[in-house]
């Protein structure tokens, strides 16, 4: 695919980002677009490898390797190289309902398993994917495609994150009447409120797709919290099937001394409030604001990075990101071979912005929090940390062990807990008496997606645990297929 000698002739290039100093002044997306000629050169680097791994979508060593929605990447790389953008978009949409989302926020496990990446920088797959779909929207090629006939079956989808939207899109395509229930004031779930605007624009990208889905016949009902102000049993009565896509929204807490101090918040409280304020016309009026504060972010993942980037735009006084794991190596370690996801050191957008203003990467590794100190009014004023070492216990597992004499005190008026999620909230599952697994996730086999309750399916993070957006889309599509089979006895959904 692409140009047979392209991977020899052209170096890997990425779109130029707006400078950190410029982009922290607003909430606009920070990537610039690449011109067509350079994009075609990047597509030309796809090397017609005999056995491509980029679209395999496997789990290797517990990490995604290749594209979980099985995008046939070599094909649309070749089409872009030949200038056939419309055909590339059609091929992309065959496997991915929302390439404008994954093209912006997916960590690109496809690139980690690119064959070229064995000994060279991999193909810029994510950049090309995003360019294809953005061009499709600009050219007017992305249009509503309502089903030609309706089956008369009604399906309720609970949750409008990536899994719920994918399930809804596929079920609607099969001709069922789909109603999506979302407890927030806007649909989109994680896409709307869990990811900041500078990574994924809400009005220009998310709402654009939601409006198209409405034109295709999908109904969205917001402020509908099933199990609270919506009776689950009524859904069982009024719909022929239900697909649960509520995500894994129970945050991991940090129960150390001083945790009850004011000014300590879960990351999603902070990110949601910030985006809500922005969409309501007043980013400066966020319910939790970092302006002029020393900010401590606890957790080194994507959510932690988003907290850093948001705090930078709020005008924080300083920001420190605490990570309990060791700093990754610059290059793949011997125990992290291709095609595993490369666990290597990199600076994401938030760290770049903090480094540009404060002089260094804000992350401190192999560090954990011992306690929070509060002032006379009960508000957090300091975070006391200690360095740790990972040592094997008597069962052979690695556990963190404090290093004596390494305590450090950081000033802090805002602390954000971004340590991941424990599983789905349980109220709805208990109301429906749906069986859960040992990790409190909905018990439903991958590939079948049926829960212990007949006619009720589950997909996404509520079934598999906290994961990638692209896995959520994979699961939503799979649950839709099995739901369609349940309703009709057979299915033509992929």
* Residue-level pLDDT at 1: 61
Residue 148 included in any domain: no
Out of 391, 419, 447, a domain closes at 419
Return the bridge partners of 264, or none. Answer: 415
Residues 208 and 87 in one domain: no
Output the pTM of the full model: 0.95
Residues 383 and 462 in one domain: no
* Residue-level pLDDT at 464: 95
* Residue-level pLDDT at 283: 86
- Closest to 154 measured CA to CA, from 222, 246, 242, 216: 242
Residues 415 and 291 in one domain: yes
494 residues of the chain, pLDDT tens digit each: 678 899 999 999 999 999 999 999 999 999 888 999 999 999 999 988 889 999 988 889 888 899 999 999 999 999 999 999 999 999 999 999 999 999 999 999 999 999 999 999 999 999 999 999 999 999 999 999 999 999 999 999 999 999 999 999 999 999 999 999 999 999 999 999 999 999 999 999 999 999 999 999 999 999 999 999 999 999 999 999 999 999 999 999 999 999 999 999 999 999 999 999 999 988 889 999 999 999 999 999 999 999 999 999 999 999 999 999 999 999 999 999 999 999 999 999 999 999 999 999 999 999 999 999 999 999 999 999 999 999 999 888 999 999 999 999 999 999 999 999 999 999 999 999 999 999 999 999 999 999 999 999 999 999 999 999 999 999 999 999 999 999 999 999 99
Helix 469-488 / helix 162-173 crossing angle, nearest 10 deg: 30
Residues 108 and 205 in one domain: no
Residues 102 and 210 in one domain: no
- Is the peptide bond prior to 356 cis by the omega test (within 30 degrees of 0)? no
Out of 87, 113, 139, a domain closes at 139
Pairing relationship of beta strands 421-423 and 398-402 according to DSSP bridges: unpaired
Residue 266 included in any domain: yes
* Residue-level pLDDT at 3: 85
User: Looking at residue 385, which CATH number applies to its domain?
Assistant: 3.50.50.60
Residue 493 included in any domain: no
Pairing relationship of beta strands 363-364 and 318-322 according to DSSP bridges: parallel
Secondary structure (3-state) at 411: strand
Residues 382 and 263 in one domain: yes
Return d(Cα 95, Cα 474) in angstroms, integer: 9
Structural domain containing residue 71? 6-139
Residue 1 included in any domain: no
Both structure tokens of 373: 């100190």
Residues 429 and 451 in one domain: yes
Residue 438 included in any domain: yes
Residues 199 and 301 in one domain: no
Q: How many separate domains does the chain show?
A: 3
Out of 82, 106, 139, a domain closes at 139
Residue 149 included in any domain: no
Return d(Cα 434, Cα 102) in angstroms, integer: 31
- Closest to 369 measured CA to CA, from 324, 302, 411, 337: 324
How much helix, strand and coil, in percent to the nearest 5, is found in the chain? 35, 20, 45
Residues 132 and 214 in one domain: no
Return d(Cα 172, Cα 166) in angstroms, integer: 10
Residues 15 and 85 in one domain: yes
Return d(Cα 253, Cα 9) in angstroms, integer: 50
Residues 379 and 471 in one domain: no
Residue 494 included in any domain: no
* Residue-level pLDDT at 63: 86
* Residue-level pLDDT at 282: 85
Residue 146 included in any domain: no
Q: E strands, 36-195, where?
A: 58-60, 63-65, 154-158, 177-181
Q: How many CA atoms lie within 13 A of 277 on its CB side?
A: 17
Return d(Cα 311, Cα 294) in angstroms, integer: 10
Q: What are phi and psi of 488, to 5 degrees?
A: -115, -10
Residues 86 and 229 in one domain: no
User: Looking at residue 39, which CATH number applies to its domain?
Assistant: 1.10.1060.10
């Amino acid at each position: 695919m692409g140009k047979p000698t392209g991977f020899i002739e052209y170096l890997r290039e990425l779109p130029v980002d707006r400078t950190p100093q410029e982009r922290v002044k607003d909430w606009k997306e920070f990537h610039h677009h690449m011109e067509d000629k350079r994009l075609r050169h990047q597509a030309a680097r796809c090397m017609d490898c005999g056995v491509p791994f980029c679209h395999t979508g496997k789990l290797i060593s517990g990490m995604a390797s290749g594209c979980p929605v099985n995008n046939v990447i070599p094909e649309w790389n070749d089409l872009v190289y030949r200038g056939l953008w419309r055909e590339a978009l059609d091929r992309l949409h065959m496997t991915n309902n929302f390439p404008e989302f994954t093209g912006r926020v997916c960590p690109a496990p496809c690139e980690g398993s690119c064959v070229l990446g064995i000994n060279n920088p991999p193909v810029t797959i994510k950049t090309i994917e995003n360019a294809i779909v953005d061009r499709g929207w600009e050219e007017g090629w992305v249009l509503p495609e309502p089903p030609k006939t309706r089956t008369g079956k009604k399906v309720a989808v609970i949750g409008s994150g990536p899994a719920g939207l994918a399930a809804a899109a596929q079920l609607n395509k099969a001709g069922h009447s789909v109603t999506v229930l979302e407890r927030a004031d806007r649909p989109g779930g994680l896409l709307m409120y869990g990811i900041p605007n500078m990574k994924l624009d809400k009005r220009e990208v998310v709402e654009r797709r939601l409006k198209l889905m409405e034109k295709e016949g999908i109904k969205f009902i917001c402020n509908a919290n099933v199990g609270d102000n919506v009776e689950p049993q009524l859904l069982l009565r009024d719909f022929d099937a239900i697909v649960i896509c509520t995500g894994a929204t129970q945050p991991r807490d940090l129960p150390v001394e001083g945790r009850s101090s004011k000014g300590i918040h879960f990351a999603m409280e902070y990110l949601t409030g910030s985006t809500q304020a922005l969409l309501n016309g007043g980013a400066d009026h966020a319910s939790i604001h970092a302006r002029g504060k020393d900010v401590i972010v606890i957790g080194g993942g994507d959510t932690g990075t988003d907290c850093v980037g948001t705090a930078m735009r709020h005008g924080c006084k300083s920001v420190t990101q605490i990570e309990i794991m060791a700093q990754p190596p610059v290059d793949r370690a011997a125990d992290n071979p291709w095609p595993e996801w490369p666990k290597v050191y990199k600076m994401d957008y938030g760290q770049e912005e903090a480094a540009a203003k404060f002089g260094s990467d804000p992350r401190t590794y192999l560090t954990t929090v011992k306690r929070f100190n509060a002032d006379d009014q009960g508000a957090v004023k300091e975070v006391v940390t200690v360095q740790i070492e990972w040592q094997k216990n008597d069962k052979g597992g690695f556990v963190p062990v404090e290093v004596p004499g390494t305590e450090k005190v950081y000033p802090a008026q805002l602390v954000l807990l971004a340590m991941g999620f424990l599983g789905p909230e349980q109220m709805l599952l208990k109301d429906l008496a749906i069986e859960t697994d040992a990790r409190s996730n909905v018990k439903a086999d991958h590939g079948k997606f049926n829960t212990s309750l007949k006619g009720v399916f589950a997909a996404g993070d509520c079934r598999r645990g906290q994961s990638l957006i692209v896995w959520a889309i994979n699961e939503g599509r799979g649950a839709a297929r099995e739901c369609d089979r349940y309703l009709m006895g057979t299915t033509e959904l992929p």
